[in-house]
Amino acid sequence: MNLKKTIAAGLPALLVGAVAVAAAQPNFVFILVDDLGIHDIGAEGSTFYETPHIDGLVKSGMRFENGYAACQVCSPSRASIMLGTAPPRHGITQYIGDKSGLAYNRGDPVMPAEYLHNLPADQTTLAEALRAGGYTTFFAGKWHLGDEGSWPEDHGFDINKGGWSKGSPNGGYFAPWKNPKLENGPDGESLTLRLAHETASFIEASQDKPFLAYLSFYAVHGPIQTTEALCDKYKKKAKKMGLVDNGPRFKFDRRLPVRQVQDNPIYAGMMETLDDAVGIVLDTLKKTGLDKNTVV
């Protein structure tokens, strides 16, 4: 087989397909969850945490069984998603805020390398590329890719709801949350649900122009918090499932204890709220009819 002829013969069909996709200009909703364990959703085997909306995405969409984060910590992975390059390429090789070089923590076995503390301004982000193609770009939630001057609005996002320097919710998951990029709601309002509602509002207002909605939850990063009602619900569920006082809870793995039993009622409540938030966004897409032309 002549490989060159085969490739050349395939090119016109590929180009026609590309033109057709471009003409339709699909919307994009990108949902990112921080620190989520693979087994924390029902579709991956959890019988304790309840995640029907996320499980629905798995059942109705495409599932990648050998996908990996670009790095084991936050900021490098987020930069790789934004730029499409590996951490050694973009220069953010540690979570922003960690010590490096001569200022390293003395308990580290090796001296950590220096790294960039802001998303490189001279590199094109996903948001900048789509905005150049006529898209309205929206960001909600955790950013953790630099200090002021390197926030979402500095890297291609038209709207920023809650993205700034901090990698965890400064005031916790219930208002007031002490976030300079997100107006406080009533005391006690859920940050996770608020980010979903902000995203839903953006979607409802964006029916006449293609958009990118980048929903980057602070959840389920610590602190682990939920409502009393949800905590009580999962305490009862753990007891009903026989998980109370049922064997060792943690196993020491190299340097950290690793939970062996899914029975934490606070974390379970946090997972349910996260799933409800995903449901709010998905329901909005269906209600507006935009689900027919939106990649989630």
Question: DSSP for 33-81?
Answer: -TT--GGGSGGGT-SSS--HHHHHHHHHS---TT---SSSSHHHHHHHH
Residue 249: the pLDDT is: 81
C-beta atoms surrounding 106 within 10 Å: 5
Rounded CA gap, 261 and 37, in Å?
13
Cβ contact 187:166 at 8 Å = no
Residue 144: the pLDDT is: 98
Q: What is the pTM of this model?
A: 0.89
Rounded CA gap, 202 and 261, in Å?
39
In the chain, where are the structural domains located? 26-66+75-83+118-295
Identity of residue 36 = L
Rounded CA gap, 192 and 169, in Å?
10
Residue 252: the pLDDT is: 87
Please state the CATH superfamily assignment of the domain spanning residues 26-66+75-83+118-295 in this structure. Answer: Alkaline Phosphatase, subunit A (3.40.720.10)
Cβ contact 94:170 at 8 Å = no
Q: At what angle do helices 52-60 and 265-288 cross, to 10 degrees?
A: 50
Question: 12: buried, middle or exposed (CB in 10 Å: 19+, 13-18, 0-12)?
Answer: exposed
Rounded CA gap, 36 and 77, in Å?
13
Print pLDDT tens along the chain (296 aa): 333 333 333 333 334 444 444 457 999 999 999 999 889 999 999 999 999 999 999 999 999 888 889 999 999 999 999 999 999 999 999 999 998 887 776 677 778 889 999 999 999 999 999 999 999 999 999 999 999 999 999 999 999 999 999 999 999 999 999 999 999 999 999 999 999 999 999 999 999 999 999 999 999 999 999 999 999 999 999 999 998 876 678 888 877 888 889 999 999 999 999 999 999 999 999 999 999 999 99
Residue 4: the pLDDT is: 34
Torsion sign (Cα): 280, 180, 146, 157: positive
Q: At what angle do helices 228-240 and 265-288 cross, to 10 degrees?
A: 110
Residue 17: the pLDDT is: 45
DSSP state of 293: G
Identity of residue 179 = N
| Cis, peptide link before residue 220, omega less than 30° from 0 | yes
Q: For the chain, what's the residue count?
A: 296
Cβ contact 190:169 at 8 Å = no
Q: At what angle do helices 191-204 and 265-288 cross, to 10 degrees?
A: 10
What residue ranges in 78-154 does DSSP mark as E strands?
A: 136-141
